[in-house]
Structure 1
């Protein structure tokens, strides 16, 4: 997931471990994200501002979509993630990375963009609407705004499993405890409408897995939440270890089925 602005708000670990997890999530979810972007009129040569780019898990894909003459400026509040992105994409034209905090910093870019994209960041912010307003300043008239966020209550498994249900609840709980909104996906379209965007489109998806990398992403997510859960007092160390072990056992059962949270895609055009 993209790194959130405001380090105190972000529920997941940063740095190498966090970036590795986001690479897996990108492999799982990029096909549907790409399909949605393409359906909104993405074309070669466009300029893009990506908020909360992390170590660039999505940035490279965006650059590929924009083709010859296109470029992406990505920013994130985590300096370690930005350094990883700069190393990963060193020498590749059309990419730029900046250390900026969407919530705390006054954004300053010397241009406006054809596309503003924020993926899995809004749910971590106390005021997603204010963040969208700030980003929209750098969107050209007629430009495209695209956001992806989550609805944590969209998670389910089969058969019913206490460890899975507890981990699903903790994901939403820590996002909310840290000032975010675990149900942001439900009201994202209404926020976008408030910005007077035109041609608003919404799609919802639920990624569900019986095997493979997607299934193992569930305990990996819980592992990435561990530090925050302990800091917030939502679990003790022994409770966390037991929960993680139980969750791994469930996800290793050949017939168990698990889902990720619902992903909500929303897009609109800035009035000319």
Structure 2
């Protein structure tokens, strides 16, 4: 979070606190499966790990708890989020270094980290390849990066269907594209990583289902702040938002309903021979 591009924590949602809570919901929603992927990609005690665009520090806390023995670092551009992350991690009793800086030019020496996580960042950047090459640079030879992003044509699905959700996500895509982002970047991750020099590139999609994680996490991770701002900024009609809200409430009241959301993961290594 807090990258130069289409994301600004102070204006994307209804309020800073509401947006930070939504970011926490996004971590909780996928953590059970996401943590399994990190373990499968070789995350283990003793590694030096950085999260670039660490936001308020919720993922760093999860990593520290699930994978004890990591040397954890966070980088975040937005000074407000740096302060929030530093305070939150300290309150959890965790020794995690969080500093202010940009993923486009981190300031870290070359070959510093064994493992890097870049979560919901690339989709907000006008020049994602610049970020990918910087991640490559700060990885040690043989080190691994995991890029996690959305693709808003394959975002949230429901049963019974809510047809107007498509209008909401199309409006969101237009707003992010107008600000230099790429909200459909999830499908491009393997191609971008290969172009950035990574080897052993892999791609996966993880899904969260309301029957397994509950309805509340879906509501928390989506929120109403962003759709409301789309209305205020002229990307979405108030009528459409009203229909979505009404159909969402009706869906939750019904038996047998389902909500599904996806995240896209691209991963690759800096070649071990690249010294």
TM-score, with length taken from structure 1: 0.85
Partner of 2:89: 89
Aligned pairs for 1:220-259 within 5 A: 221-226=222-227, 228-230=229-231, 232-235=233-236, 238-239=238-239, 242-243=242-243, 245-255=245-255, 256-259=257-260
Q: Deviations over 1:38-90 (max 9, x none)?
A: 1011120111111111101101122234423x221112222222211111122
Change over 3 Å in CA distance of 1:8–1:183 after alignment to 2? closer
Partner of 1:125: 125
Q: Distance in 2 between matches of 1:228 and 1:64?
A: 35
Question: Could you tell which deviates more after superposition, 248-257 or 109-118?
Answer: 248-257
**8 Å Cα contact 1:7-1:77 kept in structure 2:** no
Partner SS, residue 156 of structure 1:
strand
Partner SS, residue 202 of structure 2:
strand
Unaligned runs of 5+ in 2: none
Aligned pairs for 1:24-43 within 5 A: 24-43=25-44
Aligned pairs for 1:13-162 within 5 A: 13=13, 15-68=16-69, 70-90=70-90, 92-103=93-104, 106-110=105-109, 112-154=112-154, 155-162=156-163
Question: Could you tell which deviates more after superposition, 87-96 or 50-59?
Answer: 87-96
TM-score, with length taken from structure 2: 0.84
Q: Distance in 1 between matches of 2:121 and 2:16?
A: 16
Question: Could you tell which deviates more after superposition, 181-190 or 203-212?
Answer: 203-212
Partner SS, residue 137 of structure 1:
helix
Partner of 1:164: 165
Question: Could you tell which deviates more after superposition, 131-140 or 10-19?
Answer: 10-19
**8 Å Cα contact 1:43-1:65 kept in structure 2:** no
Q: Distance in 2 between matches of 1:148 and 1:42?
A: 15
Q: Distance in 2 between matches of 1:239 and 1:72?
A: 46
Q: Distance in 2 between matches of 1:183 and 1:7?
A: 15
Partner of 1:12: 12
CA-atom RMSD in angstroms: 2.5
Q: Distance in 2 between matches of 1:212 and 1:9?
A: 26
Question: Could you tell which deviates more after superposition, 129-138 or 221-230?
Answer: 221-230
Unaligned runs of 5+ in 1: none
Change over 3 Å in CA distance of 1:74–1:228 after alignment to 2? farther
